[in-house]
Amino acid sequence: MENKIRVILVEDEPFWQKNISKYINKENDIEVVRIIDNGPDAVEATKSLEFDVILMDINLSRANLDGLMAIRVLSQAGHKVIALTAIKEQEVIAQSFKSGAVNFINKSSLVDILRAIRDAHMNQIYIHPDGSEVLRKEYLKEIRLSKVLTPSERQVYDLRSRGLNKTQIAGQLHKSISTIKKQIRFVKDKLKEQGISF
C-alpha cells in the first residue's frame, strides 16, 4: 500500500523495540521507518528523515535527554509525538501532555497504539483512557491554581514544577533568591490550604 503512515519508534529496550515494531509493521497502512534508542538521536533524525508520527518512550535510561525533554523539543518543532511508557504515575502522564505529547499510551496497550497513530496522523485525537482522567484532574487543578495564585506566584510555581531550584528561578525571573524563597513559602502555604501538593 502506498502512502503508509511513517512512524519513528524511540525506545531503548530491545524487547519493546522488537514487539512494538513487529506489531505495527503487520498493518497495511502503517510502518516503522526507524527505531532509535535515545532522545538526542531522535531529535537529530527528524531533521532529515521523512515521517509522520513519533512514538516516544518516556523512560529512556541511557539517554542524555530524557523522553519528556525530547517530546518538548519535537512538539515545539511541530511534530506529532505520542508518549509511550509502562509508567502509570499521574504526574508522569500530566508531564507528557504538558511537554506537548498528542496522546499517552501504555506499552501494553498494543491495539490502542495503532489507533493513536492513525488518529495523530489524521489530526483527530482521541485521548486514550490512560491519559484522559489525568487530563481532567489537571484541568480542575489549573482552575484552582488560577484562583489561588497571583501571576507572579504562578510563574514561580511553574518553574519549580519544571524542576528548577531557587537560584535558577531567581535567575529566570530576575529576582533575588530571598524574594524567591518567600514566594515559594507563600505558594506552599496557599496550596496546602487547597490540598494541592507542591
Average pLDDT over residues 126-151: 79
- Distance of alpha carbon 66 from alpha carbon 77, whole angstroms: 17
User: What is the distance between the alpha carbons of residues 56 and 174, in angstroms, rounded to a whole number?
Assistant: 35
- Residue (of 32, 37, 45, 116) closest to 77 by Cα position: 45
Q: At what angle do helices 177-194 and 166-173 cross, to 10 degrees?
A: 110
In which band, very low, low, confident or very high, does the pLDDT at 86 lie, cut at 50, 70 and 90? confident
pLDDT at 52: 97
Reduced to 3 states (helix: H, G, I; strand: E, B; else coil), residue 176 is coil
Residues ≥6 apart with Cβ < 8 Å to 11: 17, 20, 35, 36, 37, 55, 57, 84
Q: What percent of the chain has pLDDT over 70?
A: 96
In the CATH hierarchy, which fold is given to the domain comprising 5-130?
Rossmann fold (3.40.50)
Distance CA 172, CA 162 (A): 12
List the alpha helices (DSSP H) in 52-176: 67-76, 90-98, 110-121, 129-148, 151-161, 166-173
Q: Are 191 and 198 in contact (CB under 8 A)?
A: yes
Report pLDDT digits (tens) over 160-170. Answer: 887 789 999 99
Residue 108 has pLDDT above 90, yes or no: no
Instruction: Write down the CATH number for the domain with range 149-194.
Output: 1.10.10
pLDDT, tens only, 28-73:
999 999 999 988 899 999 999 999 999 999 887 655 457 888 999 9
The DSSP secondary structure of 37-59, one letter per residue, reads: SSHHHHHHHTTT---SEEEEES-
What is the overall mean pLDDT for the chain?
A: 87
pLDDT score, position 194: 79
More confident residue, 34 or 84: 34
Q: Is the pTM of this model over 0.75?
A: no
More confident residue, 30 or 133: 30
Instruction: Give the mean pLDDT of 187-198.
Output: 82
Instruction: Give the domain ranges of the chain.
Output: 5-130, 149-194
21: which 3 cell numbers?
Answer: 515494531
Estimate the crossing angle of helix 90-98 against helix 129-148, to 10 degrees. 80
User: What residue type is 138 in one-letter code?
Assistant: E
